[in-house]
Structure 1
Amino acid sequence: MTDALTQQHLARRTSAALDAAVASGRELGLTVTGARVLHDLFSVVVHLAPAPVVVRVPTVLPRQADLGFLARRQRAELDVTQWLAGQGVPVIPPSPLVPREPVRRDGFSMTFWQFVEEDQGKEPDYEANAESVADLHAAMRAYPGELEFLSAAEPHFVTDSLAMLQERPDLIDPAGLDRARREWQVLEPLVRSRAAFENAFPGIDLQPVHGDSPPANIFHGVGGNLYSDFELVTLGPVEWDLAALGPACASAYDRGARRNGMRPLNEDVMAFVDAVGMLRAVSVLALVPELPVLLEYVRPAIDHWRTTPFAGGLGGA
Structure 2
Amino acid sequence: MPDAPLTPEELTARTGLATEAAFNAATNLDLRVEETRVLHDVFSLVLHLHPSPVVVRIPLVLAPGTTPEDLALRQRRELDVTDWLWREGVPVVRPSPLVPLEPVREDDFSMTFWELVDVADDHQAYAQADHAVCAALHAALAAYPGVLPFLAPFNEGLPAMMEALEGSPHLTDDDLDRAHAEWRALRPVLASASAFHERFPQPDVQPIQGDTPSNNVIRSTRGLVFSDFEDVCLGPVEWDLAGHGPEAVAAYDAAAGPLDMRTIDPELQQVMDTARSLQMVASFSLVPQLPILKQGLQAPLEAWRASPSLVL
TM bucket, shorter chain: over 0.9
TM-aligned CA distance change 1:111 to 1:72, over 3 Å: same
Structure 1: gaps of 5 or more residues? none
Tell me the amino acid that sits aligned with residue 270 of structure 1. Q
Q: 1:235-256 CA deviation, whole Å, 9 max, x = no partner?
A: 0011111111111111111111
Secondary structure of 2:82's partner? helix
Tell me the amino acid that sits aligned with residue 281 of structure 1. M
Tell me the amino acid that sits aligned with residue 167 of structure 1. G
Aligned residues: 310
- Contact kept? 2:213, 2:226, Cα under 8 Å: yes
The Cα of 1:161 is off from its aligned counterpart by: 2.5
1:290-305 paired onto structure 2 within 5 Å: 290-305=289-304
The Cα of 1:158 is off from its aligned counterpart by: 2.6
Computed over aligned residues only, the root mean square deviation of the Cα atoms, in angstroms, reads 1.4
The Cα of 1:126 is off from its aligned counterpart by: 3.4
Tell me the amino acid that sits aligned with residue 110 of structure 2. S
The Cα of 1:160 is off from its aligned counterpart by: 2.5
TM-score (structure 2 length as normaliser): 0.96
- Contact kept? 1:244, 1:277, Cα under 8 Å: yes
Secondary structure of 2:38's partner? strand
Query: What is aligned with 1:158?
Result: 158
TM-score (structure 1 length as normaliser): 0.95
Q: Distance in 1 between matches of 2:101 and 2:162?
A: 36
Q: Distance in 2 between matches of 1:172 and 1:156?
A: 23
Q: 1:263-317 CA deviation, whole Å, 9 max, x = no partner?
A: 1100111011111101101110011011100011111001000111212x32xxx
Tell me the amino acid that sits aligned with residue 164 of structure 1. A
- Contact kept? 1:214, 1:227, Cα under 8 Å: yes
- Contact kept? 1:165, 1:171, Cα under 8 Å: no
Query: What is aligned with 1:228?
Result: 227
Q: Distance in 2 between matches of 1:14 and 1:120?
A: 27
The yes-or-no answer on 1:33 pairing with 2:34 is yes
The Cα of 1:189 is off from its aligned counterpart by: 1.0
- Contact kept? 1:77, 1:230, Cα under 8 Å: yes
Identity %: 43
Q: 1:76-124 CA deviation, whole Å, 9 max, x = no partner?
A: 1000000000010000010000001000001111000000121232467
Query: What is aligned with 1:50?
Result: 51
- Contact kept? 1:157, 1:283, Cα under 8 Å: no
The Cα of 1:222 is off from its aligned counterpart by: 1.8
Tell me the amino acid that sits aligned with residue 233 of structure 2. T
TM-aligned CA distance change 1:297 to 1:131, over 3 Å: same
